[in-house]
Amino acid sequence: MDEAAAGTQGAHRVPLCYRHPDRETGVRCTRCERPICPECMISASVGFQCPECVRAGSGTGHPPTAAQPRTIAGGTLTSDPRLLTKVLIGINLALFLVQTSLGDRFTDRFELIGQAYTPLLSGVQGIAEGQYYRLLTAMFLHGGYAHILFNMLSLWWIGGPLEAALGRARYLALYFVSGLAGSALTYLLAAPNQPSLGASGAIFGLFGATGVLMRRLNYDLRPLIALLVINMVITFSPGMNIAWQAHIGGLVAGVVTGYAMVHAPREKRTLVQYGTCAVVLAVVVVLTLVRTAQLT
């Protein structure tokens, strides 16, 4: 490490990753003890190793076949660790363009609504009428330019680093179970004729999982907590017309699923991680069926 990098690291109470000097980390390579961030962590039999130590241990200059590079959650390291975040943002933006082009008729057909008469669609619409797809489609619709701008910025800032830490499959599972949990709680608790839409439930799930990950890595949680508090104040402010149920449902699902992702025992990691996702989805199904029974 050069003198400038060493001086920068010494000025911080929390060590900086030796490959990414702008990233604080509380984790060190178990072989050379250099600080490593989630992007540089490679699962070893005990703890995590840096890429150089893994290559050196293989004796060939490449990671050994039995110990392929893994993220902290056991996912596969990729050349573009933010790819899925970019794809999700692209899908949200594309559907927003469709909304602005086709108007309210398109939005009314796919937003989350329990049960209500919709004049544009000429009849009673909603999840209680068997339109369960609304639990999913509402996650990709937005109510205006400010709404989608705020959500997509949040998705980029929070989702990108989390995708790099978890790996693509686990990140995508977390995103969808959090979003669906937010939709299910909204369906259960909100008035049946109250429409709801937006990626906020999924994004709050990413917030929750990020908090769990930062705790696992001994990062300073105060900036994240401050950001979450600001979001909660906005969520519950009078006159904001925000579906707080989606935020709370997504946050709780994100914390639960995120904990399973980063704390699952290595020998049963995949089973615990995806088993937890299945449990959360089962809760989503139960909440949905209970509310449907109430409305029908």
What pLDDT does 209 receive?
95
Catalytic residue (one of 62, 79, 247, 263):
247
- Per-residue pLDDT tens digits for 183-223: 999 999 999 999 999 999 999 999 999 999 998 888 888 88
- Residue in this structure with the two tokens 């609504």, named with its chain if needed: 113
Contact present, 234 and 242 (Cβ < 8 Å): yes
- Burial label for 242, CB within 10 Å (0-12, 13-18, 19+), is middle
What pLDDT does 3 receive?
42
- Per-residue pLDDT tens digits for 41-66: 887 766 778 888 877 765 444 444 44
Half-sphere exposure at residue 50, Cβ-oriented, CA atoms within 13 angstroms: 18
Residue 267 makes CB contacts below 8 A (sequence gap 6+) with none
Structure tokens at 104: 């309210």
List, as one string, the DSSP characters of 106-146.
HHHHHSB-SSEEEGGGTEEESGGGT-TTHHHHGGG--SSHH
Q: Which DSSP category does 14 fall into?
A: S
Catalytic residue (one of 45, 200, 237, 263):
200
Q: What is the maximum alpha-carbon separation in the chain? A: 71
Contact present, 128 and 188 (Cβ < 8 Å): no
Q: What is the distance between the alpha carbons of residues 265 and 2, in angstroms, rounded to a whole number?
A: 37
What pLDDT does 178 receive?
97
Report the DSSP beta bridge partners of residue 196.
112
CA distances from 58 to 29, 51, 62, 69, 74 (A): 16, 11, 6, 12, 19
Q: Taking each helix axis as running N to C, give the angle between helix 200-216 and helix 222-235, from 0 to 180 degrees, rounded to the nearest 10.
A: 160
- The pTM assigned to this predicted structure is 0.78
Catalytic: 200?
A: yes
Q: What is the distance between the alpha carbons of residues 177 and 179, in angstroms, rounded to a whole number?
A: 6
Q: Taking each helix axis as running N to C, give the angle between helix 200-216 and helix 244-263, from 0 to 180 degrees, rounded to the nearest 10.
A: 30
What pLDDT does 162 receive?
93
What pLDDT does 135 receive?
96
Domains of the chain, with CATH numbers? 3-67 (no CATH), 83-295 (1.20.1540.10)
In tens digits, what is the pLDDT along the chain, a chain of 296 residues? 444 444 444 444 678 888 888 887 878 888 888 888 887 888 776 677 888 887 776 544 444 444 566 788 888 877 888 999 999 999 999 999 999 999 888 999 999 999 998 888 878 899 999 999 999 999 999 999 999 999 999 999 999 999 988 999 999 999 999 999 999 999 999 999 999 999 999 999 999 999 999 988 888 888 888 888 888 888 887 766 788 899 999 999 999 999 999 998 888 989 999 999 999 999 999 999 999 999 98
